[in-house]
Structure 1
Amino acid sequence: MATITEGRHACEGLLSEANFHRSRDNITVVSGAGKLVPGTVLGKLTAGGKYTPSPATGSDGSQTAVAVLLYPVDATSGDVQVAAITRDAEWNGKTLTYAGSVDDDTKKAAKHTQLAAVGIIVR
């Protein structure tokens, strides 16, 4: 019998958010970011204000985590508009997905601290 692995569901890790979806914003994921799953930790590029997975280090603004993706997107060959959590929410830390360079607990904890600075608490 074949084993089937189910992917992440939209909004799967969202534990709570502010009233009337005040925690959400429509954002633009930058072209070239690739296929992203719900729960991807995002940073905002200083130039242009678009979002991309937040790396451990960098100098383009995206190194600071400021949002969590709510829905799956494919931004491989073009910008994609999508909803994200950008403030005043709680997220299940077990459902977060990080950029490849965020590869140990210390780097993940740094991302959690950055998210907390914008009001996204990782539980």
Structure 2
Amino acid sequence: MTVLTEKLGPGSCIIQEGADYYSRDVGVVSAGAGATYPPNTVLGKVTATGKFVEWNPSNVDGSQTVAAILIYPVTEEQEATLLRRHAQVKSLALNWFTGATAGNKTTGIAGLAALGIIAR
């Protein structure tokens, strides 16, 4: 029997969100030169620039605090649609920074909950 694996597409982590796109915002996401963030990446927000980057609790520029989930993939730096509030998401579909431990993911999920985004 052939096993098929479904790729996670844009917004595939979303179970439920607020009506009329209440849960979404647009922001500038900076993946870095030649880099791409896949959909469903957990993001933090750099205090000095207001740009969103991959969340990592080791950062010290403001992006150590969870701020959003990226809905569509982003290459280098561009405006993107973000999930920012009042939603339910699939925890297994979230993309985390390279090397994220189970403890990091638990911290990130708590940060999402603080935004009103519940990971199931």
CA-atom RMSD, angstroms?
1.8
Counterpart-to-counterpart distance in 1, 2:31 and 2:88: 28
Gaps of 5+ in 1: none
Matches within 5 A, 1:33-52: 34-52=35-53
Using the size of structure 1 for normalisation, the TM-score is 0.87
| Structure 1 residue 10 corresponds to structure 2 residue 7 | no
Partner of 2:68: 67
Gaps of 5+ in 2: none
Task: Count residues in correspondence.
Answer: 117
Sequence identity of aligned pairs in percent?
34
Q: Deviations over 1:16-61 (max 9, x none)?
A: 0011110000111125172111110000000111000001312101
| Structure 1 residue 58 corresponds to structure 2 residue 59 | yes
Letter in 2 for 1:38: P
| Structure 1 residue 117 corresponds to structure 2 residue 96 | no
Using the size of structure 2 for normalisation, the TM-score is 0.89
Partner of 2:79: 81
Q: Deviations over 1:84-103 (max 9, x none)?
A: 1001111100100111242x
CA contact (8 A) 2:31 2:74 kept: no
Offset of residue 8 of structure 1:
2.1
Counterpart-to-counterpart distance in 1, 2:12 and 2:31: 24
Letter in 2 for 1:25: D
